[in-house]
Amino acid sequence: MVDSATPAQTDQPRVALITGAAQGIGRAITLRLAEDGLDIAIADLKSQRTNLDGIADEVRAKGRRCLVLECDISQEEEVQRMMQATEQEFNSLDVMVANAGRIVVKPVVDSTLVDFDEVFNTNVRGTFLCLRAAAQTMIKQGRGGRIISASSVLGKKAMPFNSIYSASKSAIRSFTQALASELGSHGITVNAYAPGPVDTLFMRGSAEDFAKQVGLPDGKAFIQNYQTNVALGRIGTPEDIANIVSFLAGKDSAFITGQTITVDGGLWMD
């Protein structure tokens, strides 16, 4: 049994691999973990290469190494290549952040199998592939690790017009709980973060879609409506989510595993 009281201490910096890193929450997580002293591998779709390269420059400006990878996480071969490239570059993987995801906002009666497959291929199949690859690598290394995934507050309490996304993010909670039980003896913790609305381009596009479904004039009105119902009176920032990931990736979370932690300003309270 590996002692996971603290992340493995070596002469080499710890290494994090982050998917969906090209913008929004993924970008914020990348920069925060770089500030925490980790070397970074960042991955996203080929279409996001320019954004990835810009973020890599920011990471390197903080004095950390950064590997840029193009990866569609729904494709097994691409995930395997992503993991192999990370191991080859850094000879290590200490933190896996499976952040990539997609959303569709539609009533169930209007949803198609294409909608379902697109969301589940990324959010469920893709996360599974990333978690499996990270677990295999960390077990092989034999010195513990941190696996962290993106769930959502909608994975705890679903909303109308968001059934497919909600179901996919609920699946992340189940993966987190089961994998935490499987990997505990290896000193690997497995947790997830569950954001509410976060101020990103991704969220603002979704807010427009929600507004149309519920009869609000625009996405801004939807966000304002949300803010009136949340305890802290605001939507989240990418840095709010990066903060919890930083904690889960670090030594102070050593006795936390199997948890999906809500970060939504106090809308959904366990």
Domains defined along the chain, listed by start: 15-196+237-262 (3.40.50.720), 197-235 (no CATH)
d(CA 191, CA 136): 17
* Tokens 């959502």 sit on residue: 152
pLDDT score of 32: 98
CA dihedral sign of residues 181, 263, 252, 41: positive
Is 180:258 a contact under the CB 8 Å cutoff?
A: yes
DSSP sequence for 210-243: HHHHHT-SSHHHHHHHHHHHSTTSS-B-HHHHHH
d(CA 167, CA 159): 10
d(CA 94, CA 144): 8
Is 170:160 a contact under the CB 8 Å cutoff?
A: no
Considering the candidates 156, 165, 193, 251, report the single residue annotated as catalytic. Answer: 165
d(CA 175, CA 125): 11
Is 170:239 a contact under the CB 8 Å cutoff?
A: no
Considering the candidates 140, 157, 169, 220, report the single residue annotated as catalytic. Answer: 169
d(CA 16, CA 167): 27
Q: How many CB atoms are located within 10 Å of the residue 163 CB?
A: 18
pLDDT score of 226: 82
pLDDT score of 267: 87
165 is catalytic: yes
d(CA 214, CA 210): 6
CB burial of 175-197 (b: ≥16 within 10 Å; e: otherwise) equals bbbebbeebbebbbbbbbbbbbb
Element (H or E) spanning 71, and its range?
none
Name the stretches of the chain with pLDDT < 70: 1-11
Please tell me what DSSP assigns to residue 150: E
d(CA 98, CA 219): 27
pLDDT score of 5: 42
pLDDT in tens, 180-191: 999 999 999 999
CB-based burial label for 1 (10 Å; 0-12, 13-18, 19+): exposed
